[in-house]
């Protein structure tokens, strides 16, 4: 029996997003009928007919049912534009690779404008989630974390080999190179190439030219373990990941060892660290998101980064946290 008629909209990446499905299950179990828009539905024009327009009083209307106002909206995750890979493959050899690259780049920019337009013109009482393109600036977040008295690994942005060498020596020849934005993926035939956080060696630096593209280097912190948190309002759900005992995952735990997975356990951060993280989220006007930290061998907790549309499924499943239920409660209560 339907007990609740509040309009709830969920914006997800795709129909295959498991966390979205789990939250929807809880909403339906509690008598709600959430509406849903998937990012890949907007991109996949061959399978989905979608039209957006403006009515006589200047409201956004569409054939997706996104008319009027909602009680709550959960921006689970926008599309990552992965369907554009298929669009890229659809061009035959008569179209130059350079032109294809320009077309894909233009489509990506246009989709970003459309997403912003949709988000700016749907109304709700409660909004949960954030576009990572908006809150995912690692540099801004590092500085803001430091203002909230969280420890951060020192970093440098430089184009110069001489500056890099000084930074390298200052931190005992242990520094890392990492992406500043999303992970770089390159699809070449049947192979997918991707970037990871990597230690930089003396040999690497000796092979660098004197001048190179502005790059982000960070002090390498020797750790006891990593900590992945999911924050929902003022609740912090934390998980320790013992990635340092496996050479494959020691520097970047995303290099999963499927034969011998890292041990993961529920974890309680010191209350002062939780408070600092909640205050950081408050400054960013974030109600939810994931945070990566490490516990150093020096016993300090180091803030690494925020993923505002980050996955929480692993934290929930491995640590038996009922995050899906808590999100459903936020949306309908």
Please choose, from the candidates 286, 330, 276, the residue with its C-alpha nearest in 3D space to the C-alpha of residue 23.
Answer: 330
pLDDT band at 2, cuts 50/70/90? very low
Q: What is the pLDDT of residues 277-328, one digit of tens each?
A: 999 999 998 999 999 999 999 999 999 999 887 779 899 999 999 999 999 9
3-class state of residue 282 by DSSP? helix
How confident is the model at residue 135, as a pLDDT?
63
Q: How far, in Å, CA of 134 to CA of 311, rounded?
A: 17
3-class state of residue 253 by DSSP? coil
pLDDT band at 96, cuts 50/70/90? confident
Please choose, from the candidates 184, 204, 206, 182, the residue with its C-alpha nearest in 3D space to the C-alpha of residue 193.
Answer: 184
Q: Which of 99-108, 185-194, 226-235 has the highest mean pLDDT?
A: 226-235
How confident is the model at residue 132, as a pLDDT?
58
pLDDT band at 137, cuts 50/70/90? confident
In the numeric block, the tokens 């339907």 are attached to: 2
| Bridge pairing between strands 8-12 and 69-75 | parallel
> DSSP per residue over 264-277, as a string?
EEEE---HHHHHHH
Q: What is the pLDDT of residues 4-60, one digit of tens each?
A: 578 999 988 877 788 899 999 999 999 999 988 887 777 666 666 778 888 888 888
| Confidence (pTM) | 0.86
Angle at 196 between CA 192 and CA 198, to 5 degrees: 140
Q: How far, in Å, CA of 20 to CA of 214, rounded?
A: 38
């Amino acid at each position: 029996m339907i007990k609740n008629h509040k309009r709830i909209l969920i914006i997800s990446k795709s129909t295959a997003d498991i966390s979205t499905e789990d939250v929807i299950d809880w909403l339906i179990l509690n008598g709600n009928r959430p509406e849903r828009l998937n990012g890949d539905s907007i991109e996949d024009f061959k399978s989905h007919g979608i039209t957006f327009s403006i009515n006589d009083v200047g409201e956004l209307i569409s054939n997706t049912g996104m008319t009027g106002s909602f009680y709550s909206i959960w921006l689970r995750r926008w599309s990552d534009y992965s369907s554009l890979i298929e669009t890229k493959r659809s061009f035959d050899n008569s179209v130059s690779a350079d032109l294809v690259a320009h077309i894909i780049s233009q489509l990506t920019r246009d989709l970003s404008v459309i997403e912003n337009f949709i988000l700016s013109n749907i109304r709700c009482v409660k909004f949960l989630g954030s576009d990572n393109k908006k809150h995912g600036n690692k540099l801004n977040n590092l500085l803001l974390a430091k203002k909230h008295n969280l420890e951060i690994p020192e970093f440098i942005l430089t184009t110069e080999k001489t500056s890099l060498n000084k930074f390298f020596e200052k931190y005992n020849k242990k520094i890392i190179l990492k992406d500043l934005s999303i992970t770089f993926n390159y699809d070449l035939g049947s192979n997918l190439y991707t970037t990871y956080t990597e230690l930089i060696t003396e040999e690497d630096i000796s092979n660098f030219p004197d001048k190179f593209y502005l790059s982000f280097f960070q002090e390498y912190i020797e750790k006891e373990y990593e900590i992945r948190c999911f924050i929902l309002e003022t609740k912090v759900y934390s998980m320790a990941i013992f990635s340092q005992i496996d050479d494959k995952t020691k520097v970047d735990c995303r290099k999963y060892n499927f034969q011998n997975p890292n041990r993961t356990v529920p974890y309680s951060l010191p209350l002062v660290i939780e408070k600092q993280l909640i205050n950081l989220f408050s400054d960013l006007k974030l109600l939810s998101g994931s945070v990566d930290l490490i516990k150093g061998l020096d016993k300090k907790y180091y803030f690494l980064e925020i993923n505002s549309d980050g996955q929480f499924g692993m934290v929930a499943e491995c640590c038996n946290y009922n995050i899906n239920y808590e999100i459903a409660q936020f949306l309908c209560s």
